[in-house]
Amino acid sequence: AFVVYSFFVLVMQFLGDTVHVQRMALADKPKKLRFPIPFFFLGHFNPTTPTFLPRVRALVLQYALVKPATTIMAVITQAVSRYCSESMSPAYGHFWYMVFNFVSVGAAMYGLIVIYVTIKDDIAEHKPLPKFLSIKLVILLTMWQNMLLSLLVHFKAIPATQFWTRTNVANGIQSMLVCVEMLGASIFHHYSFSSREYEMAAADGSGAVARTRVWPALLRCLNVLDVARDVIDSGRHLMSEAKGTAIRTDQDNVELGSHLRGGGAGGSGRSSAKTPHDDDDDENERAAATLYYGRS
């Protein structure tokens, strides 16, 4: 679940370093894009609306909440002898564990598909298709296999042995398949997520590649505070949308203020001497901001 959301964040970083830049990139998109397969019958979506990114982010982010929640549910039901991994009956926790995770990961993957078809041309230089497939195939292969093997165990299509139960046999098959598949997946990942894409020249001008220390980089990768902050931010956006109001996050305030001032860090934007054209630009930007954030 953490990998899926981290991949979504990576893709959005390809589109733009800040939320404001990402919105500006989406503003030039067609106002009608058809939903991808298999939900094309839903019609069209508009990626230029201010609610598009928060909704897609929430769709992907929910899996990072559902997965640990269902794991806790599985531990509790197992402790009270109501899990029963050999059964797919709704009377046992295993059924609901599989259903919730299946629906949740499907929704998260569809969110990634929607964002991919929307911005694939904008991030073409980063070769997004192999990256997307490497993530999607690993997640869906393991999920579909687990679901299929659980059904085979439930309907007793997998025989037990003298020493192994049906569940033991299914777990063994799943483990063997994962070992074989992950060998191919690791090779595919090595190609899709090549480190050369992120190489930078050393600051000393020697022409050597700059190196990042392993442990600090690992700690940053394992830091889940970004996910927690995004969960809170997405919750606020969805609640405000449900109430028909709009909110402005701290990050939005910083980005909007920087944009309206015409510059980023170091004040490298517009000069302090404003022209009538600058006034018109500022007025248009404030109007766009009001459209997104709502009137206070």
Integer Cα distance of 293 and 289 in angstroms: 6
pLDDT tens per residue, range 50-80 = 888 888 888 898 998 899 999 999 999 999 9
Please, which pLDDT band fits residue 209 given cuts at 50, 70 and 90? low
pLDDT of residue 16: 83
Cβ proximity of 146 and 74 under 8 Å:
no
Which range, 156-165, 192-201, 241-250, is most confident?
156-165
Candidate from 81-95, 99-113, 220-234 with smallest mean pLDDT: 220-234
Place of tokens 């500022």: 282
For the whole model, what pTM was predicted?
A: 0.70
Averaged pLDDT, 168-183: 90
Number of H helices, E strands in the chain: 10, 2
Q: Which distant-in-sequence residues (6+ apart) come within 8 Å of 26 by Cβ?
A: 47, 48, 52, 53, 118, 119
Please, which pLDDT band fits residue 258 given cuts at 50, 70 and 90? very low
Q: Would the CA dihedral through 287, 289, 292, 296 be positive or negative? A: negative
pLDDT of residue 100: 94
Which range, 95-99, 133-137, 277-281, is most confident?
95-99
Please, which pLDDT band fits residue 246 given cuts at 50, 70 and 90? low
Structure tokens at 77: 């039901």
pLDDT of residue 287: 43
Whether pLDDT at 293 is above 80: no
